[in-house]
Chain A
Amino acid sequence: MDGALMDATVAAARVGDRAAFGQLWVELSPRVGAYLRSHGVGDAEDVTSEVFLAVFRQMGRFEGSGAAFRALVFTVAHRRQVDWHRQRVRRGPWVAWDDAGHDPAAPSAESAALAVLGDEWVVALLATLTPDQRSVLALRVVADLSLEETAAVLGKDVGSVKSLQHRALARLRKELSGKPYPREALARLNPRHA
């Protein structure tokens, strides 16, 4: 969804258009879910729904473009993931309840396994970063935000965001130089690396 379409969709949702809400959900929910998973949030789907529910209920008072709406969504997502980690510290480790069984609409078992392995690998790699470095990298890559938007979401200045991004990438390079990611697995996740 390009910028113009995003602006129109946000404007339609602001007046209560039902289809516009669905389009925003389809467009942004995977990114929000990925952002939450990159921070190790266990029940990322539930938290994603909470994020959008909070944003959608404020839609009547929202004023701004599609980019501003995207920044708002990830601002709420960032705060929710911070709250989730705080609650986990108080309540103990989160254990997933995987009782959904086989979903026929889901991708094949092999693809799912590779995706899980890819997610786990990335999440483990991001765990070597500081929370701020991880947030900057995730917002820049997953949410596709600019430096200024990332700074606004995190409440930091642009220089700090640049510094955090630089240190995060340096850390990843150092980690990957010793333990290179298997090219075969990466090729299945993203054909560009084949």
Chain B
Amino acid sequence: MPEPEDPAPSGLHLPASDPAAPAVEALRGMSAREPVTASRELAAFLENPAGEGLGTSSPSRSDLVTVVRLPIRRAAVAVGAAVALAALGGVAVAVASTGGGQDREPAHVQQDDPSDTTTTTEATDTETTTAEPDDTESEASETRSATHTANATASANHHDGVGADDQHADVNGGGEVDHRAEHSPTAHPTGAGDDADDQGDDQGDSDAQAPATQPGGGSHRH
């Protein structure tokens, strides 16, 4: 069956006997209308083609995407920088509120002349800080020396009356010791001084109620 379609160089024309002719003619009739109403923008162009962008092309889609992307990137960079600066500022404020960093190097003070007692203006706080433990230590040593008992055994023997006399400290050449003598707590002051001297060398000087000792070594009466 031969093809009834019109082999015309332009357009498509079917014979009236073709069953599809009514549809083709109706389709052609759609274009046989009045000109389409131009939009406002097109009407402006038709009024003044030279002034309405003749020869100019609207930006392509990729160009628009680029135009949109650039501000977004710039905004992202600006926000990132702002966040970083805010974080650094927060750290700086925290450091300032705590009085400085933990890794701060201590000041080194070198005193050339030990006899020089003048205070340097550098690192005054450090000098004060380092001087405090020394002061405390000296005070503690003084306290220990004040409460120190030179011979605890000798002191105990004076009170319990038990033990030989030679267990008493500093009894050599001191004569006899009267253990029944009333002991005065004030006889052995806890202050500075040596108990041995009080008990032995003085030979009863410290014992107020002890009998007088004879020079050359008398014997104590028990």
Interface residues of A (CB under 8 A from B): 13, 16-18, 21-22, 25-26, 29-35, 37-38, 44-46, 48-50, 52-54, 56-61, 115, 118-119, 121-122, 125-126, 137-138, 140-142, 144-146, 165-166, 169, 172-173, 175-177, 180-181, 183, 186, 189-190, 192-193
Q: Which of B114-154 contact A (CB under 8 A)?
A: none
> Nearest Cβ distance between residue A69 and chain B, in whole angstroms?
14
Inter-subunit contact A49/B25 (CB<8 Å): no
Inter-subunit contact A53/B30 (CB<8 Å): no
> Nearest Cβ distance between residue B47 and chain A, in whole angstroms?
8
Q: In the complex, which of the residues B33, B39, B49 contacts A49, with contact meaning CB atoms closer than 8 Å?
A: B39
Cα of A29 to Cα of B145 in the assembled complex, Å? 119
B20 cross-chain contacts in A, Cβ below 8 A: 169, 172-173, 176
B56 cross-chain contacts in A, Cβ below 8 A: 57
Q: In the complex, which of the residues B12, B14, B25 contacts A190, with contact meaning CB atoms closer than 8 Å?
A: B25
Cα of A146 to Cα of B7 in the assembled complex, Å? 9
Cα of A45 to Cα of B35 in the assembled complex, Å? 10
Q: In the complex, which of the residues A17, A26, A57, A146 contacts B9, with contact meaning CB atoms closer than 8 Å?
A: A146
Known: A137-B27, A190-B25. A30 touches B5 (CB 8 A): no
Cα of A33 to Cα of B33 in the assembled complex, Å? 9
Cα of A52 to Cα of B35 in the assembled complex, Å? 13
B27 cross-chain contacts in A, Cβ below 8 A: 34, 38, 122, 126, 137-138, 141-142
Inter-subunit contact B39/A119 (CB<8 Å): no
Q: In the complex, which of the residues A18, A126, A145, A186 contacts B22, with contact meaning CB atoms closer than 8 Å?
A: A186
Q: In the complex, which of the residues A21, A29, A169 contacts B36, with contact meaning CB atoms closer than 8 Å?
A: A29
Inter-subunit contact A193/B16 (CB<8 Å): yes
Cα of A43 to Cα of B20 in the assembled complex, Å? 28
The residue on B at minimum CB distance from A192 is B25
Cα of A87 to Cα of B12 in the assembled complex, Å? 31
Known: A58-B57, A166-B3. A181 touches B23 (CB 8 A): yes
Known: A34-B33, A141-B28. A21 touches B45 (CB 8 A): yes
**Of B16, B33, B58, most A-chain CB atoms within 10 Å:** B33
Q: With A30-B36, A181-B23 given, can you name 8 additional A-B contacts, CB distance below 8 Å?
A: A21-B49, A32-B36, A57-B58, A119-B30, A181-B26, A186-B26, A189-B25, A193-B21
Contact of B96 with A by CB under 8 A? no
Known: A57-B57, A141-B27. A25 touches B46 (CB 8 A): yes
Contact of B19 with A by CB under 8 A? yes
Known: A53-B41, A181-B26. A146 touches B10 (CB 8 A): yes
Inter-subunit contact B46/A34 (CB<8 Å): no
Inter-subunit contact A61/B55 (CB<8 Å): yes
Q: In the complex, which of the residues A38, A53, A186 contacts B45, with contact meaning CB atoms closer than 8 Å?
A: A53
Known: A138-B27, A144-B10, A186-B25. A26 touches B42 (CB 8 A): no
Inter-subunit contact B42/A53 (CB<8 Å): yes
Cα of A172 to Cα of B19 in the assembled complex, Å? 8
Cα of A115 to Cα of B27 in the assembled complex, Å? 11
A186 cross-chain contacts in B, Cβ below 8 A: 22, 25-26
